[in-house]
Chains A and B, each alone.
Chain A
Amino acid sequence: NAGVTQTPKFQVLKTGQSMTLQCAQDMNHEYMSWYRQDPGMGLRLIHYSVGAGITDQGEVPNGYNVSRSTTEDFPLRLLSAAPSQTSVYFCASSYGGRMNTEAFFGQGTRLTVV
């Protein structure tokens, strides 16, 4: 049981380049989300999905796109990378939308934009 798998683990981009961060989960979780982690700011929600075909914006969605065509996958797209997007990105999944549901996290993708 792999849980939540993120690829790549590390990436360096040039300003203006685009890329997709991959996230897959094998727990049949309905809910998936993307967070970014920056020093002193904790984790902030970028985008969120409650099921295949349904996505919603989080706290910091600008510059990012998502889609959810299957239950398992939730890729995050950077359309035109900027240095402000240098961060560690975490994908998470959870079973259903109950308030007491814990989130399971991937290992993270460390992105540097130069």
Chain B
Amino acid sequence: AQSVTQLGSHVSVSEGALVLLRCNYSSSVPPYLFWYVQYPNQGLQLLLKYTSAATLVKGINGFEAEFKKSETSFHLTKPSAHMSDAAEYFCAVSIYNQGGKLIFGQGTELSVKP
């Protein structure tokens, strides 16, 4: 069975500091992985996706994620946090052979302090 675990339900950083949001997956088949962002009272927006073309994936708003098969990880990073990055972030995996269905992690709420 496939699953996604996000370490840390809440992460707080200072403006300008590195953002690191952790995501580990479990899958017996090559996974397709996604990061979504949810701003308050809004729907989810795609940040980036891994589809096996490249292990380092760049997304919108300066975010990127690196797929590491040996560590079964897909951590999300941004070199310098901005106040506007405060939101909830979800890691998700596409269910094998059922494209369009997603399994989500528990979510990580990112706070950015001035």
Contacts and interface: CB of A to CB of B under 8 A. Distances in A.
Contacts of B103: 45
Nearest to A95: B100
A58 B101 CA distance: 9
Nearest to A58: B101
A106 B41 CA distance: 11
A100 B45 CA distance: 15
Contact of A106 (B32, B36, B43, B102): B43
A40 B100 contact: no
Interface residues of A, number: 29
B102 to A, nearest CB: 6
A58 B95 CA distance: 11
Contacts of A76: none
What's the interface size class on B, roughly? 20 to 34
A43 B105 CA distance: 8
Interface of B: 4, 6, 9, 32, 34, 36, 41-46, 49, 51, 90, 92, 94, 96-107
17 contacts: A31-B100, A40-B9, A40-B106, A40-B107, A41-B106, A42-B6, A42-B105, A43-B90, A43-B102, A58-B101, A90-B44, A96-B100, A97-B98, A97-B100, A99-B32, A103-B44, A107-B42
- 5 A-B pairs with least C-beta separation: A31-B100, A42-B104, A100-B51, A97-B99, A105-B43
